[in-house]
A and B are shown apart, each in its own frame.
Chain A
Amino acid sequence: MNPFKPFSFSPRQAFRVWQREVSVYKYVYKSTIVSNLMDPLVYLVALGFGLGAFVSRIQGMPYIQFIAPGLISSSIMSAATFETTINTFVRIHFDRVYEAMMATPVTVEDIVVGEIMWAMTRSTIYATVMLGVVTALGLTHSWYAIFVPLLGALGGMMFAILGLTYTSLLKSIDQVNFYFTLFITPLFLFSGVFYPIDALPAIVKTIAFLSPLYHLVEIIRPLVIGKIGFGVVGHLVWIIVFILIFAAVPVNLLRKQLVK
């Protein structure tokens, strides 16, 4: 049987998958919002105030001002990544939520789209809450910042596709760690969140250009500080092309996991 048979996708059924995640989230949102947002906030406070005291201005702004939009971007990445790696792995292998769904009029395509929609929802929530914190600290200087939640959704989609692709290949939960240590952490450190990538050696700079997070940071920072140039369009195109190229990958991989 050809696993690459024609797609069978129903927006309504994908919405049902999304709704299941919302139902579960009602029970866990308090603990997850706090624990997931603590991370970027600790960086913001510790590095922004601590390291910021020793760093002179970067690109003409105080250090905390520089890293605040970067940390909004990385919270988008981590929200979508957690959702589509650890949580998705548990749904496939431990709780077997997808197996139960597949006994109903839900297909693998619906599951993948529903999960991406859900990861986008979470990254949008986090981007919005982080933006609120940054604004409360007086670090938002432009009304363009109202587009940040939209980028939460777009960036969430990008990282959800990546996360689902990786998770669909896994056999053991331990392998999830590799994704964080070998991919997410380097992205976090080399994507212009904490310093401009101009500071990096030429080769690393080229690699940074391949980082999805880098392009997200380079859109969100101008929106928050209000200095928008044409560069933003280039980064936006990069993200959209990336999504278009990889969008169909997780469906085909997950089908192999779920259809036996």
Chain B
Amino acid sequence: MRMISCVSPLTSGSLRVFGLDTAKSMREIKQRLGVVPQEANLDDQLPVEENLTVYARFFNIPSNIALVRAKEQLDFMELTEKRKAKVSELSGGMRRRLLISRAMMNEPELLILDEPTTGLDPQARHLVWDKLFELKKRGVTQIVTTHYMDEAQQLCERIAIMDQGRIIDEGAPQDLIQKHIGREVLEMRVSETMRTQILALSSPIVKGFDSYRDLLVLYTDEAERVLEKIKRGDINADYTLVRRSSLEDVFLKLTGRRLTE
């Protein structure tokens, strides 16, 4: 992310953004980018609206145009009431929205967002999603990094799953789910001895499985049928759950369930 936004030097290789070399054309690239960092680095010494207009000056946007855009952005992000407020008076969700507004001041061709809703309460998250979705409809291309798979599923058309700095797989969310998991998931907590039994019983209609301690997760297109089969096999589980598969299942399957840190 930092390399794409031309703030970190490349570790190796070469990188082109908008067809321009990041090592040579960083000013031109940055002029056309919008960057929303994970941690709010708003200007605490300036009120909300001036955060936008002062930022716009770095892009050499004339002040009358900057003022119009700032008003539009604050209106769009529902921050108009706060335009004279200090940054320190804003809630976490408001700060995040202001960061996005700020990144939109130069009307970027590409918006880069680093974990845009991390640390926000559910209402604030949904508002941010709503706004990002709206921007997407207006044709603003976005690159989002996130640990929240529901966020990725909601916002993104194409997803690259990364682990230890490498892309493990990429594609549309639904395609990835269908490819790796199937339609449904059956979760249960059983002892290890029963596990082999269950797998033998269900193998023909299960696409794959995953286990961590006493948790067994079966990936399938027909979870209810699998469950029935297992029950007929006279197996008791402490906990069973049938649910729709999600991107989180794909992520866990591909990157493993253990903590990597």
Most buried by B among A1, A100, A103: A103
A23–B27 CB distance below 8 A: no
Mark each residue of chain B from 171 to 205: 1 if its CB lies under 8 Å from any CB of chain A, else 0: 00000000000000000000000000000000000
B95 at the interface (CB under 8 A from A): no
Q: List CB contacts (< 8 Å) of B42-70 with chain A.
A: 42-46, 50, 54-55, 57-60
Complex Cα–Cα for A8 and B11 (A): 20
The stretch from B29-37, B121-129, B251-259 touching chain A is B29-37
Q: Given A99-B41, A260-B8, A104 and B54 touching (CB < 8 A)?
A: no
Closest A-chain residue to B43, C-beta based? A97
A171 at the interface (CB under 8 A from B): no
* 11 A-B pairs whose Cβ atoms sit less than 8 Å apart in the complex: A10-B27, A13-B58, A16-B58, A19-B54, A20-B57, A24-B46, A97-B43, A103-B37, A105-B58, A105-B60, A260-B2
Selected from B7, B9, B57, the residue in CB contact (under 8 A) with A103 is B7
Q: List CB contacts (< 8 Å) of A68-101 with chain B.
A: 95-97, 99-101
Q: List CB contacts (< 8 Å) of B103-134 with chain A.
A: 106
Main secondary structure of the interface of B (DSSP, over half): loop
B10 at the interface (CB under 8 A from A): yes
A259 at the interface (CB under 8 A from B): yes
A107 at the interface (CB under 8 A from B): yes
Mark each residue of chain B from 81 to 114: 1 if its CB lies under 8 Å from any CB of chain A, else 0: 0000000000000000000000000100000000
A102 at the interface (CB under 8 A from B): yes
B153 at the interface (CB under 8 A from A): no
Selected from B9, B35, B46, the residue in CB contact (under 8 A) with A259 is B9
Q: Given A259-B7, A260-B8, A23 and B37 touching (CB < 8 A)?
A: no
Mark each residue of chain B from 1 to 39: 1 if its CB lies under 8 Å from any CB of chain A, else 0: 010010111110000000000000011101101010101
Q: Which residues of B contact A12 (CB under 8 A)?
A: 60
Selected from A10, A24, A99, the residue in CB contact (under 8 A) with B37 is A99
B7–A105 CB distance below 8 A: no
A97–B41 CB distance below 8 A: yes
Interface size range of chain B in the complex? 20 to 34
A105–B31 CB distance below 8 A: yes
A19–B27 CB distance below 8 A: no
A101–B7 CB distance below 8 A: no
Closest B-chain residue to A102, C-beta based? B7
B41–A8 CB distance below 8 A: no
List 20 additional A-B contacts (Cβ < 8 Å) besides A8-B26, A20-B43, A95-B44: A1-B9, A1-B11, A8-B27, A13-B27, A16-B58, A19-B57, A20-B54, A27-B46, A95-B43, A95-B45, A96-B41, A97-B41, A100-B41, A103-B7, A103-B30, A104-B106, A105-B27, A106-B58, A259-B8, A259-B9
Top 8 nearest A-B pairs (CB, nearest first) are A104-B58, A1-B9, A96-B41, A103-B35, A105-B27, A100-B41, A24-B45, A105-B30
Complex Cα–Cα for A10 and B55 (A): 17
Q: Which residues of B contact A10 (CB under 8 A)?
A: 27
Selected from B10, B30, B43, B50, the residue in CB contact (under 8 A) with A104 is B30
Q: How far is the CB of B23 from chain A (nearest CB, A)?
A: 9
Q: How far is the CB of A95 from chain B (nearest CB, A)?
A: 5
Closest A-chain residue to B57, C-beta based? A16
Closest A-chain residue to B33, C-beta based? A103
Complex Cα–Cα for A10 and B44 (A): 26
Q: How far is the CB of B44 from chain A (nearest CB, A)?
A: 5
Complex Cα–Cα for A95 and B54 (A): 15
Q: Which residues of A contact B31 (CB under 8 A)?
A: 105
Q: Given A10-B27, A19-B57, A105-B31, A1 and B41 touching (CB < 8 A)?
A: no
Complex Cα–Cα for A107 and B60 (A): 14
Q: How far is the CB of B85 from chain A (nearest CB, A)?
A: 13
A103–B43 CB distance below 8 A: no
Closest B-chain residue to A87, C-beta based? B45
Q: Which residues of B contact A105 (CB under 8 A)?
A: 26-28, 30-31, 58-60
Q: How far is the CB of A5 from chain B (nearest CB, A)?
A: 8
Q: Which residues of A contact B58 (CB under 8 A)?
A: 13, 16, 101, 104-106
